[in-house]
Amino acid sequence: MIPGRPVAVSGARFRVVYRVAERIAASEKEALDRAREIAVEQTVEFPIALLPPGELRDRIVGAVEDLDRAPAGWRATISYAVETASFELTQLLNVAFGNSSLTPGVRLERLDLADALLRAVPGPRFGRAGLRAALGVPRRALLGTALKPLGLSATALAELAYQFAFGGIDLIKDDHGLTNQPFAPFEERVARCVGAVERANRETGQRAIYAPNVTAVGDETIRRARFAKAAGAGALLIAPGLAGLGLLAQLAADATLGLPILSHPAFQGSYVIGPESGISPAALFGQIARLAGADGSIYPNVGGRFSLSEAECRSIATATAEDLGPIRPSFPVPGGGMRLERIPELLAFYGNDVILLVGGGLFQAGPDLLENCRAFRQMIEEREDR
């Protein structure tokens, strides 16, 4: 038996929905046992028989609230006292899936957070409406692209940024592979690309913005974000799988930064591609990216170079806008090998509340990059009026 007693908890609880694969739980009884194991593992992580009766057993240990049949398995809903999540994003994710990420056959399907937690995480500072206002684009879908390839000089990347902005792209982000390489050091690249986009904006009267990649080691990420802000960048790109979801949350929470944030899925793929394990794309790229503060969440679209299904892409887009109380809706940002000829299909699928990210495809559409950008913009504007 262990000593001491916990202090009282408020009674407010949040819920996490898991899918338990049939492979590890053939019967309802086994599925319930599995769900109870998850509830213990994610909280006290302690032999339950050795817990003293009372609050620890009754309210700190997760509680299995529901168990239903699901395709190829079971859907288990477990509730946790909000206090276990410590009102911080990292610990919320730890309670939701920390150790159970190590269990084959257990998948985090979705989060149903309590108000106390929704108020404790940053969420998007701009959200859909705020980003539209910043860009001056009230209705149509937004156009995004990436500065690449890795290996170009800062001057060459800035020249591309100019052409993209002049050609009508709204959001010009660094490729997520551009960090601080000697070819195009961060500070020089940011200064040049900001300048190039500002020049294009003066010429076009539009408000394209440049989002440098600030992904780095620890608080160097924050330092780069501050540099980008001071240099006049209009947004930030971060790969939370590399920098940490907590650093995304810190950037979003920092009012002195106050820039829209795009999150990139690099190094996060392993969470979403195991069909039985890991985290559902809707939870990771939809809910979690949004809770952490991404105004736009980039993910690999169906039919590109990667592997998400149409249903998964739909579920991500839905999760970016579902009602989360004080948390603003974010933009889905499908990418990963999109080509211009797919734009009408993408618009039909996502509607106008989307940032369509076309990278290499903008170069492949024809020999004149500026013309390709204009063609992309025109395809978007044609749809706007429908």
User: Under rule CB under 8 A, which residues in 188-207 are in contact with a second copy?
Assistant: none
Q: Which two structure tokens, joined as six digits, stand for 347?
A: 């618009």
User: Under rule CB under 8 A, which residues in 103-162 are in contact with a second copy?
Assistant: 103-104, 148-153, 155-157, 159-160
CB atoms inside a 10 Å sphere around CB 59? 21
Q: Which is nearer to a second copy, 55 or 109 (CB)?
A: 55
CB atoms inside a 10 Å sphere around CB 190? 26
32, 33, 90, 118: which one contacts a second copy (CB under 8 A)? 90
Q: Smallest distance, Å, CB 216 to a second copy? A: 6
CB 243 within 8 A of CB 220: no
Distance CA 143, CA 139 (A): 12
Q: Smallest distance, Å, CB 353 to a second copy? A: 24
Q: Which is nearer to a second copy, 102 or 133 (CB)?
A: 102
Q: Which is nearer to a second copy, 124 or 265 (CB)?
A: 265
Q: Smallest distance, Å, CB 74 to a second copy? A: 19
Q: Smallest distance, Å, CB 306 to a second copy? A: 4
Q: Which is nearer to a second copy, 349 or 363 (CB)?
A: 363
Q: Which is nearer to a second copy, 40 or 231 (CB)?
A: 40
According to the binding rule CB under 8 A, does residue 230 interact with a second copy? Answer: no
Q: Which stretch binds a second copy (CB under 8 A): 132-140, 197-205, 212-220, 374-382?
A: 212-220
User: Under rule CB under 8 A, which residues in 342-371 are in contact with a second copy?
Assistant: 359-360, 363-364, 367
Q: Smallest distance, Å, CB 71 to a second copy? A: 19
Q: Smallest distance, Å, CB 336 to a second copy? A: 7
Q: Smallest distance, Å, CB 163 to a second copy? A: 9
Map residue 96 onto helix, strand or coil.
Answer: helix
- Amino acid making up residue 205: G
Q: Smallest distance, Å, CB 191 to a second copy? A: 17
* 385: Cβ contacts below 8 Å, ≥ 6 apart: none
Find the largest Cα–Cα distance for the chain.
Answer: 74
Burial 214-223 (b: 16+ CB within 10 A, else e): bbbeeebbbe
Q: Which is nearer to a second copy, 183 or 349 (CB)?
A: 183
CB 104 within 8 A of CB 97: no
32, 116, 118, 222: which one contacts a second copy (CB under 8 A)? 222
Q: Which is nearer to a second copy, 65 or 220 (CB)?
A: 220
Map residue 76 onto helix, strand or coil.
Answer: strand
User: Under rule CB under 8 A, which residues in 278-317 are in contact with a second copy?
Assistant: 278-279, 300, 305-307
Q: Smallest distance, Å, CB 266 to a second copy? A: 3
User: Under rule CB under 8 A, which residues in 19-58 are in contact with a second copy?
Assistant: 37, 41-47, 50-51, 55-56
Is the Cα torsion angle 124, 241, 40, 71 positive or negative in sign?
positive
Instruction: Catalogue the E-assigned strands of 181-329.
Output: 209-211, 236-238, 261-263, 278-279, 296-300
User: Under rule CB under 8 A, which residues in 241-280 are in contact with a second copy?
Assistant: 241-247, 249-251, 253, 265-274, 277-279
Distance CA 373, CA 17 (A): 42
CB 320 within 8 A of CB 329: yes
Orientation angle between helical segments 220-231 and 245-253, nearest 10 degrees: 40
Q: Which is nearer to a second copy, 116 or 231 (CB)?
A: 116
Distance CA 41, CA 59 (A): 14
Number of residues that bind a second copy (CB under 8 A): 101
Q: Which is nearer to a second copy, 52 or 351 (CB)?
A: 52
Q: Smallest distance, Å, CB 242 to a second copy? A: 4
Instruction: Catalogue the E-assigned strands of the chain.
Output: 13-21, 63-70, 73-81, 106-112, 142-147, 171-174, 209-211, 236-238, 261-263, 278-279, 296-300, 331-335, 355-357
* 3-class DSSP string for 98-124: CHHHHCCCEEEEEEECCHHHHCCCCCC
Q: Which is nearer to a second copy, 83 or 295 (CB)?
A: 83
